[in-house]
């Protein structure tokens, strides 16, 4: 029942944002923007997106290091299949898919894997928030925009503080969490209690400053790489804005996806991207055309590659999207980006 509600909520979010986007779009002018774009240049930027996720895979491998040793080559397909799942299903189910696949392939606890994924996604949120705050301050955005940045920063800082507290004080954290678990129905509470210890063990990477620094480096490098792809696509559409604007788009659009979990981010991504460009004096038609083209270039190749990798791993779609419900209780504290 809960999964069905989350599915329809994601659909409603997508439809609502797309309706808003389309209401502000002139399709006659958009066709002109597409006809004047260098689409070959836009497509040439796609490999950078995969490079960015290779860097994020290196970050995840670093966070997994204190728990288990896994090569980047084995982790990368798991990351791409999880991203594909996020792109075709609502409620950001891809993180649960990643935990399931890693547990199956490496014979490790899926809830432990989910703990490392929670830290992995926290790095994304913090990197994007810091990027947004720095660039917005430099670009001279108005007070309202700066206020949104501060509020988002506080939200992700609070979530990260909770993860750090869980990592450094696992016994106390376990006690606090068990008190909350006892408020739940008995069957559900017992299920969560069984997963709790494994989940906390996945946070062990937060205790190592060296691990955190290396993970932070890969996090910044990955998002700068993705921003470069956005820049190349923008050059193809002759937007004539600075690289700082693309950094704001990367941060704003992906943070929006962490809040409004529609399938593939359809709707929220287009609205966030368009509104940032319009704020920086890009014509509405060009901004809309860019947002649509960019999102297609982000979604289509990953979906295609993800399904190919899924076929290669010989995991069925029924297994992939049926198993996450077993891990769902452990994901309650995890929110994802991208």
Range in 5-14, 225-234, 241-250, 266-275 with the lowest mean pLDDT: 5-14
Look at residue 175 in the predicted model and tell me its pLDDT. Answer: 74
Phi first, then psi: give them for residue 141, nearest 5 degrees.
Answer: -65, 160
Global pTM?
A: 0.80
**Residue 301 neighbours by CB under 8 Å, 6+ apart:** 46, 49, 50
pLDDT tens digits along 97-150: 898 889 888 888 787 788 788 888 878 888 888 888 778 777 665 555 556 566
218 pLDDT higher than 60: yes
* Cα angle value 114/68/109 (rounded, 5°): 40
Q: Which two tokens stand for residue 78?
A: 């798991």
pLDDT tens digits along 140-190: 655 555 565 666 666 666 766 776 676 677 667 667 777 776 766 666 666
**DSSP conformation letters of 282-297:** --HHHHHHHHHHHHHH
**Residues 57 and 252 sit within 8 Å (Cβ to Cβ):** no
Q: Which two tokens stand for residue 153?
A: 């920063």
pLDDT tens digits along 78-96: 999 999 988 887 667 888 8
Look at residue 3 in the predicted model and tell me its pLDDT. Answer: 55
The counts of H helices and E strands in the chain are 16, 0
Q: Which two tokens stand for residue 215?
A: 């993970």
Q: Which two tokens stand for residue 263?
A: 């399938």
291 pLDDT higher than 90: yes
Task: Give the ranges where 140-261 is alpha helix by DSSP (H).
Answer: 143-168, 170-181, 186-201, 209-236, 243-259
């Amino acid at each position: 029942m809960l999964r069905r509600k989350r599915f329809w909520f994601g659909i409603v979010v997508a439809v609502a944002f797309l309706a808003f986007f389309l209401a502000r779009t002139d399709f006659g002018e958009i066709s002109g923007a597409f006809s004047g774009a260098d689409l070959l240049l836009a497509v040439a930027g796609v490999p950078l997106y995969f490079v960015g996720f290779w860097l994020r895979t290196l970050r995840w491998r670093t966070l997994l290091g204190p728990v288990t040793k896994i090569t980047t080559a084995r982790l990368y397909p798991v990351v791409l299949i999880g991203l594909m799942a996020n792109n075709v299903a609502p409620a950001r189910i891809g993180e649960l898919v990643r935990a399931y696949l890693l547990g199956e392939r490496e014979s490790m606890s899926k809830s432990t894997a989910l703990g490392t994924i929670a830290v992995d996604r926290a790095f994304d949120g913090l990197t994007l928030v810091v990027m947004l705050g720095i660039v917005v301050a430099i670009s001279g955005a108005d007070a309202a925009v700066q206020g949104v940045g501060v509020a988002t920063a506080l939200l992700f800082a609070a979530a990260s503080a909770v993860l750090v507290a869980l990592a450094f004080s696992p016994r106390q954290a376990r006690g606090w969490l068990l008190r909350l678990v006892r408020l739940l129905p008995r069957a559900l509470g017992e299920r969560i209690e069984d997963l709790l210890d494994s989940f906390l063990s996945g946070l062990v990477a937060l205790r190592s400053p060296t691990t955190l620094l290396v993970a932070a480096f890969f996090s910044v490098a990955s998002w700068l790489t993705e921003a470069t792809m956005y820049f190349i696509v923008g050059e193809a559409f002759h937007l004539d804005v600075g690289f700082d604007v693309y950094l704001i788009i990367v941060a704003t659009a992906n943070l929006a996806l962490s809040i409004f979990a529609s399938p593939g981010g359809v709707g929220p991504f287009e609205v966030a991207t368009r509104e940032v460009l319009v704020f920086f004096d890009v014509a509405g038609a060009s901004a809309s055309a860019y947002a649509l083209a960019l999102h297609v270039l982000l979604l289509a190749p990953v979906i295609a590659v993800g399904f190919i990798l899924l076929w290669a791993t010989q995991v069925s779609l029924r297994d992939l999207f049926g198993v996450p419900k077993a891990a769902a209780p452990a994901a309650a504290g995890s929110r994802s980006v991208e």
